[in-house]
Structure 1
Amino acid sequence: MKTLFLQAPSFDGFDGGAGSRYQTKREIRSFWYPTWLAQPAALVEGSRLLDAPADGLSLEASLDIAQQYDLVIIHTSSPSFPSDTRFAEHLKRRRSTILVGMVGAKVAVDPHGSLTASEAIDFVCREEFDFTCREIAQGLPFESILGLSYRLPDGGVMHNEARPILEDMDELPFVSPIYKRDLKSENYFSGYLKHPYVSIYTGRGCKSRCTFCLWPQTVGGHRYRTRSVENVLEEVKWIRDNMPEVKEIMFDDDTFTDFKPRAEEIARGLGKLGVTWSCNAKANVAYSTLKVMKDNGLRLLLVGYESGDDQILVNVKKGVRTDFARQFSADCHKLGIKVHGTFIVGLPGETRETIKQTIEYAKEINPHTIQVSLAAPYPGTTLHKQALENGWLKESKVITLVSSTGAQASALDYPHLSREEIYQSVEEFYKRFYFRPTKIWEIVREMLVSWEMMKRRLQEGVEFFRFLRAREG
């Protein structure tokens, strides 16, 4: 079937892409590559990947494109599901014969509720959905496709057997040729990565058990299954040779550094290819491994510190203590590795005192840049289950993860700490971290390096202050 893989339009500036770990309109306008859609698109010959939010396409323009296809597969998330469903309904009104399905963590954990939400949704794919999508596009009978839930002619819902987890990750084709064919690299921007960048996965799954983390608990699983080193380096070489505009490659595995010898082997190969790269890492990587990576082109690590309170880290099963994180951060500073640190306020055990403690901790370890998020109890996660069991969700257990404008909303409410206090602490966190003379000078010094960096940081500053004003409003 003529197939379209679609990230549908929703809120203006909403980064809900099939590669985003939490879906929201961010402090600085940014978009992650829709990697989880690019992968099945690479398996379906003649298909197209359309990322409407990144392309700035309106609802009408997106519908004009989508109605030309026989099969439309939409990536959805808990925050975007209502608007994605409305898109499907608009599309069906235009052309009722189009087969419309959805993929993503939201439908993976609630296939029945998702299908019964609207008659416009014909099917949803559960588990890892790459080959499920391919078999649908090939026209195989629905009853023969593993990992598929679908609507029956009488209006009932059928759930087929689960699709086994993919073991040989080298079976998957490269996503970068799909990026080049269908996407515009200049549309994908992140405040801490060079522009333009490309993000790819070298494996799926994460052995960590963080209670709040979305992908491992819903789609990827807790076993880190990896592509071969040769396969990864071959795709990087393809990017280097065919996408010369790309200034940095981001390895978006949940924890790229989990297998240290493999990370070092890939790093040495990247050094020979002469590329600049970054990756996600846990704050427990040994100095020796950090040095190998830095010596072979590593520029930045994205690190989830989450909290400066050890008991909170235990509560969420982070698996790293603050003393380890302090040593790791010191090693990164010594080696000249930049760190983008992510923190979460409102996790179980949070108090006014632990929020202050985490802010001071962030200032002490001093990542180059930070991101402060509100604890988000996504359906399918342990955090969501805890929230339901303990009454941390108000309003009849309704989960509000984003506001009416697409910005992240405070969902959890504790007896000792209200959701309003948690929400306001984000602004305080940012101000106390960035509005320090040493950090301001660090940013100014970076801007003085080049006119390009000057323009970029000024633009980001304007967007950041707009974000703060919007929160106050």
Structure 2
Amino acid sequence: MKVCFINPPFKAEYGKFSRESRSPSIGHSGVLYYPLWLIYAACVAEKNGFDVAFIDAPAKQMNKKQTLERVKKEAADAKLFVFDTSTPSIYSDVEFAETIKNMYPDAFTMLVGTHPSATPDETMGICDLIDGLARHEYDYIVRDTAIALRDGVDLATVRGLTYRKDGEVVHNPDAEHITDLDEIPYAAEFIKRRLCVTDYVFPAAAFPSIQIFTGRGCPAQCNFCVYPQTLHGHRYRLRSPENVIGEIEYIVNNFPDVKEIVFEDDTFTIHKQRVSEICNMMIQKGINKKIRWLCNARVNLDYETMCLMKNAGCHLIIPGIESVNQQILKNIHKGTTVEQIEAYVANARKAGLMIHACYMVGNQGETHETMRETLAAAMRFKTDTAQFFPLIPYPGTGAYNWAKSNGYINGKYDEYIHEDGTLNCIINTPELSAQELVDFCAYARKKYYMRPWYIGHRLVRGLRDPEDLKRSLKAFWRLKDSLLK
């Protein structure tokens, strides 16, 4: 039996829609994430004996017609179609799934992702031709649905599945989160056979890069972060260090053009001992001499671990700083302090690690004054790169509930992006309008990147590291219009 996994087309006329980014959109920086969660589910289906078709429409910037042609060629005999989704594209995603259902009425159409997990009844109500959806972490839900369809087993046995029965929407009990992540095949091996690494761009990394996850879930309680609250929960479940190193060695041996590995865990550095084990194994095996890597790293990371990471080949860490106002950090349940942020930046500089700092405005308690304070701190920190974004509250998150209950957003999903697929600010608070938040972020980016210190910093670093110079020039070219306004 064949299972077809589809990352659907969306606004291909404007660019590549990065559906699995934490803020799905067509990015000014050219970013395109690998559809990793869809990849992992396809890996599990293959492992369990199913024939798999995999179509990533955004990667090839395919429109609806082109994607349907691929389906006809590669998956006309599929009995289960699995469609990735996102909040901004949900109506288009459902419409595409409806088209497939009309083409292949005997097949089962299934939606996956953060949005259907957060809004199962609402999502099923968009179109009666959608057969079902998976709630939360869906690798095994897709597998079990495929087995049930193949063997004629009642779908009521599939935990985590929402489906139609006799005209009614039925929610089966939740599935347990996967605990033995070593059982899931390497994403890199699937990427090698099925995808092209040069289709994907992670602007903070050397090009081309490859993304993997070494764990799932995040113990932090940040109220805006969508994946822990809708898909994977707050328990950080880990692949063993040996399993992680095995995939890294596979990448080194099978992707000669890949220059960097991106560990996409929400916070790779949560468990110091495990990070140390992985880093020591990289050093012992000489992997640190063959490829470099970066990761998301919370601001409680200590100096000793930073130094070990640097020796193991890490060159950049990505913290969610968000704000330097302690009350705002408390309001969003960030669980960090301004003192930790200050120490983190200083320690990373001493350890020789670059920082891509993430700042967010528009959270509860934000004012013109707190935004100016955050920008002043960002200018003082002088991190290698920085991003400034307004809060985008997604369904299923605490931030969405806060914004919706106070009337700060209207809940219209097609307003999350502009016509050209770029992010739209949808939140208006009594203190700050959406336009004021957008204008501040544009001002902050220009102020940060167009100062003499930064230009000199990039040139000096580029002379030391040709790959970094290439990255900087590409980033400037993509962002030049907004920076030079």
User: What is the match of residue 141 of structure 1?
Assistant: 154
User: What is the match of residue 6 of structure 2?
Assistant: 6
Cα deviation, residue 94, structure 1: 3.0
User: What is the match of residue 417 of structure 1?
Assistant: 432
User: What is the match of residue 263 of structure 2?
Assistant: 251
Deviates more, 1:8-17 or 1:377-386: 8-17
Contact 1:14–1:23 (CA<8 Å) still a contact in 2?
Answer: no
Separation in 2 of the partners of 1:331 and 1:453?
21
User: What is the match of residue 382 of structure 1?
Assistant: 398
Deviates more, 1:227-236 or 1:398-407: 398-407
Tell me the SS of whatever aligns to 1:256.
Answer: coil
What's the RMSD between the two structures over aligned residues?
A: 1.8
User: What is the match of residue 53 of structure 1?
Assistant: 58
Separation in 2 of the partners of 1:216 and 1:44?
23
User: What is the match of residue 32 of structure 1?
Assistant: 33
Tell me the SS of whatever aligns to 1:101.
Answer: strand
The residue type equivalent to 2:421 in the other structure is: G
Cα deviation, residue 441, structure 1: 1.2
Q: May I ask how many residue pairs the two structures share in their alignment?
A: 466
User: What is the match of residue 310 of structure 1?
Assistant: 326
Task: Indicate which of 455, 464, 470 corresponds to 2:479.
Answer: 464
Residue 127, structure 1, aligned to residue 136, structure 2: yes
Tell me the SS of whatever aligns to 1:408.
Answer: coil
Cα deviation, residue 13, structure 1: 2.8
Separation in 1 of the partners of 2:189 and 2:474?
30
Alignment of 1:7-22 (within 5 A): 7-11=7-11, 12-18=14-20, 20-22=21-23
Separation in 2 of the partners of 1:467 and 1:137?
47
Cα deviation, residue 186, structure 1: 0.7
Cα 1:141–1:242 change in 2 (3 A) is: farther
Contact 2:458–2:469 (CA<8 Å) still a contact in 1?
Answer: no
Separation in 2 of the partners of 1:93 and 1:448?
57
User: What is the match of residue 182 of structure 1?
Assistant: 194
Cα deviation, residue 115, structure 1: 1.1
Deviates more, 1:65-74 or 1:224-233: 65-74
The residue type equivalent to 1:246 in the other structure is: V
Percent of aligned pairs with the same amino acid: 34
Cα deviation, residue 447, structure 1: 4.1
Deviates more, 1:355-364 or 1:41-50: 41-50
Separation in 1 of the partners of 2:88 and 2:282?
37
Cα 1:83–1:174 change in 2 (3 A) is: same
User: What is the match of residue 101 of structure 2?
Assistant: 92
Alignment of 1:188-203 (within 5 A): 188-203=200-215
Tell me the SS of whatever aligns to 1:5.
Answer: strand
Consecutive unaligned residues in structure 2, runs of 5 or more: none
Contact 2:264–2:296 (CA<8 Å) still a contact in 1?
Answer: yes
User: What is the match of residue 81 of structure 2?
Assistant: 72
Tell me the SS of whatever aligns to 2:55.
Answer: strand
Separation in 2 of the partners of 1:323 and 1:136?
49
Separation in 1 of the partners of 2:470 and 2:185?
37
The residue type equivalent to 1:52 in the other structure is: A
Deviates more, 1:453-462 or 1:377-386: 453-462
Residue 445, structure 1, aligned to residue 460, structure 2: yes
Alignment of 1:216-231 (within 5 A): 216-231=228-243
Tell me the SS of whatever aligns to 1:244.
Answer: coil
Deviations 1:277-326 (A, max 9, x none): 11110011111111111111111111111112121111111111122111
Cα deviation, residue 429, structure 1: 1.0
User: What is the match of residue 227 of structure 2?
Assistant: 215
Moved runs in structure 1, 4+ residues, more than 6 A?
A: none
Cα deviation, residue 386, structure 1: 0.7
Separation in 1 of the partners of 2:480 and 2:218?
35
The residue type equivalent to 1:105 in the other structure is: T
Tell me the SS of whatever aligns to 1:444.
Answer: helix
Separation in 1 of the partners of 2:375 and 2:193?
43
Cα deviation, residue 35, structure 1: 0.8
User: What is the match of residue 398 of structure 1?
Assistant: 412
Separation in 2 of the partners of 1:451 and 1:192?
15
The residue type equivalent to 1:147 in the other structure is: G
Cα deviation, residue 141, structure 1: 3.1
Cα deviation, residue 14, structure 1: 4.3
Cα 1:337–1:66 change in 2 (3 A) is: same
Separation in 1 of the partners of 2:307 and 2:466?
30
Contact 1:16–1:80 (CA<8 Å) still a contact in 2?
Answer: no
TM-score, length-normalised on structure 1? Answer: 0.94
Separation in 2 of the partners of 1:340 and 1:48?
36
Separation in 2 of the partners of 1:56 and 1:73?
19
Cα 1:199–1:209 change in 2 (3 A) is: same
Cα deviation, residue 27, structure 1: 2.3
The residue type equivalent to 2:10 in the other structure is: S
Separation in 2 of the partners of 1:54 and 1:345?
30
Alignment of 1:337-376 (within 5 A): 337-376=353-392
Residue 112, structure 1, aligned to residue 113, structure 2: no
Cα deviation, residue 455, structure 1: 5.2
Cα 1:3–1:452 change in 2 (3 A) is: same
Cα deviation, residue 79, structure 1: 0.9
Deviations 1:381-414 (A, max 9, x none): 00111112222124xx435322222111112111
Deviations 1:135-179 (A, max 9, x none): 222224312111000122x42211111101212222222111111
Cα 1:467–1:60 change in 2 (3 A) is: farther
Separation in 2 of the partners of 1:151 and 1:193?
43
Contact 2:327–2:365 (CA<8 Å) still a contact in 1?
Answer: yes
Contact 1:344–1:375 (CA<8 Å) still a contact in 2?
Answer: yes
The residue type equivalent to 1:336 in the other structure is: G
Consecutive unaligned residues in structure 1, runs of 5 or more: none
The residue type equivalent to 1:283 in the other structure is: V
Cα deviation, residue 127, structure 1: 2.0
Cα 1:459–1:193 change in 2 (3 A) is: closer
Cα deviation, residue 467, structure 1: 4.6
Task: Indicate which of 138, 160, 163 corresponds to 1:150.
Answer: 163
Contact 2:442–2:482 (CA<8 Å) still a contact in 1?
Answer: no
Separation in 2 of the partners of 1:366 and 1:168?
40
Cα 1:15–1:368 change in 2 (3 A) is: farther
